Amino acid sequence: MARRRPVMVAVRLTPDESADWRAKAKAAGVPLSALIRRAMARTRTWTVPAAEVERDRTRQVSRIGNNLNQIAKWTSCIGFTTACI
């Protein structure tokens, strides 16, 4: 017997989004609600602490990239001019 789902969730979409979702559900051979449930089951959500960790990582990688660019500029200037140093 199918599991009863008494709770309904409303989502606002553009007509194009609705058509896309319905086409995907039809191509998968499932009702739209089943397609959305399956998609949500596969989705990883970000918690607030995880988002903050990701922002910190992004900042660190950005700083490392900036340092590498400065080193590359400095090494390309060695021997050609002292204005770069």
pLDDT at res. 52: 84
pLDDT at res. 76: 80
Per-domain boundaries in the chain:
12-43, 47-85
Average pLDDT per consecutive 10 residues, the chain (85 residues; last block may be shorter): 84 96 96 93 77 90 94 76 55
> How many angstroms from the chain centroid is the CA of residue 26?
26
d(CA 33, CA 40) in angstroms, rounded, equals 11
pTM for the predicted model, two decimal places: 0.50
pLDDT at res. 37: 93
pLDDT at res. 51: 80
